């Protein structure tokens, strides 16, 4: 038994390490199906998403019993609406997206999609309903076409190319000598962060999920790329229920609701204008980011002179 236990325990360790470090959550689906901690309930039904409404109801969560990470978090994203989560590093923003994917179960409270507790539905159907554009996209050492088609295997070439066009990466791909057949990754063409993110967006457009999680990159992209990516993200989010983990407040001024998370608690909530008028935590964050933005622009202009 000991002989058997040790390697299993070791596998569990490796698994947890991977679960934590991999940002391209979709790449983990197959692995997750082997997860003993999170298993389908006997008789679990496939998730039905006629509308795509998300609800967190009084959710408490901790990775370790000694340390509470989320405390009494409640919010709703109505079908097709956009809710943004902002807050300092370590506040628990990404944890909320991990719970929605059911990588972990809540400690108390519940998470529902269109009224179904996500613990009662099959993991495969849950994950098929959610698209994720992560901070850092991991691409396969394969062709660009393969990397986009990963969103939906039965997509035709024309559909792959249309998704790329919507993600504003089609022109770039066509300019390459091998076009869509260009190999990327370690042995192939190295892509910039912005290019990789647009491929992830194309992949998600192809998948066409009713629910979307956008995990904004913390790393600054140049402002033209940033604008292109925001446009592409806007397109993929159209008509889908969207949860944005935001770092730059300028990208979420149009959100239906903004939740300000601090140390695992929602300390403020509301639309951008109302939160600014309130003059609280969000208004302070906004002021600091606007000042930093102005300082960067001034520096950039000085550099051009
Ligand atoms: P950032 O803006 O830096 O991405 P965040 O708000 O998304 O931060 P989370 O990644 O949700 O923060 O992490 C919230 C807290 O949970 C952090 O203190 C983190 O150290 C802790 N945490 C995250 N994953 C685990 C884990 N697997 N085990 C234990 N603690 C964890």
85 within 8 A of 34, measured Cβ to Cβ: no
Residue closest via CA to ligand 1's atom 25 equals 63
Q: For the whole prediction, is pTM greater than 0.80?
A: yes
Higher pLDDT, 230 or 123: 123
Handedness of CA 178, 181, 184, 188 (dihedral sign): negative
Q: Tens digit of pLDDT for each residue in 133-184?
A: 887 788 889 999 999 999 899 999 999 999 999 888 999 999 999 999 999 9
95 ligand 1 Cβ < 6 A: yes
Q: Is the pLDDT of residue 1 over 50?
A: no
21 within 8 A of 15, measured Cβ to Cβ: no
Interface predicted TM-score (ipTM) of this complex, two decimals = 0.96
DSSP-assigned letters across all residues of 157-210: HHHHHHHHHHTT-HHHHHHSTTGGG-BBSSSSB---HHHHHHHHHHHHHHH--S
Q: State the pLDDT at residue 6.
A: 46
Best residue among 63, 65, 243, 246 to mutate for probing ligand 1's pocket (most ligand atoms within 8 Å of CB) is 63
Residue closest via CA to ligand 1's atom 20 equals 90
Question: How many A from CA of 255 to the centre of ligand 1?
Answer: 24
Question: How many A from CA of 300 to the centre of ligand 1?
Answer: 33
Token digits for 209?
Answer: 């999920």
Residue closest via CA to ligand 1's atom 11 equals 92
Best residue among 13, 93, 98 to mutate for probing ligand 1's pocket (most ligand atoms within 8 Å of CB) is 93
Query: How far separated are the first and last CA of the chain, in Å rounded?
Result: 72
Q: pLDDT band for position 300 (50/70/90)? A: confident
Q: Is the pLDDT of residue 122 over 60?
A: yes
């Amino acid at each position: 038994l000991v002989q058997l236990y040790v390697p299993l325990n070791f596998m569990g360790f490796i698994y947890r390490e991977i679960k934590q470090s991999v940002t391209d959550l979709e790449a983990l689906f197959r692995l997750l199906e082997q997860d003993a901690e999170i298993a389908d309930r006997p008789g679990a039904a496939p998730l039905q998403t006629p509308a795509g409404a998300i609800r967190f109801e009084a959710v408490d969560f901790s990775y370790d019993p000694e340390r509470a990470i989320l405390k009494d978090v409640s919010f709703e994203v109505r079908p097709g609406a956009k809710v943004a989560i902002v807050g300092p590093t370590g506040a628990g923003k990404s944890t909320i997206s991990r719970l929605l994917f059911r990588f972990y179960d809540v400690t108390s409270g519940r998470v529902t999609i269109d009224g179904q507790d996500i613990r009662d539905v099959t993991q495969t159907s849950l994950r098929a309903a959610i698209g994720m554009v992560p901070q850092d996209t991991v691409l396969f050492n394969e062709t660009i076409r393969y990397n986009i088609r990963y969103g939906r295997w039965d997509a035709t070439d024309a559909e792959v190319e249309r998704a790329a066009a919507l993600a504003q990466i089609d022109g770039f791909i066509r300019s390459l000598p091998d076009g869509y057949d260009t190999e990327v990754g370690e042995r192939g063409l190295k892509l910039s962060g912005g290019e990789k993110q647009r491929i992830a967006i194309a992949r998600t457009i192809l998948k066409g999920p009713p629910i979307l999680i956008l995990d904004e990159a913390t790393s600054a992209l140049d402002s033209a790329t940033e604008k292109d990516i925001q446009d592409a993200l806007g397109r993929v989010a159209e008509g889908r229920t969207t949860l944005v983990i935001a770092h730059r407040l300028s990208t979420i001024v149009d959100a239906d609701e903004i939740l300000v998370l601090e140390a695992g608690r929602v300390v403020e909530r509301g639309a951008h204008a109302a939160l600014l008028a309130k003059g609280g935590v969000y208004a302070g964050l906004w002021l600091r980011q606007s000042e930093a933005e102005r300082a960067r622009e001034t520096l950039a202009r000085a550099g051009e002179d």
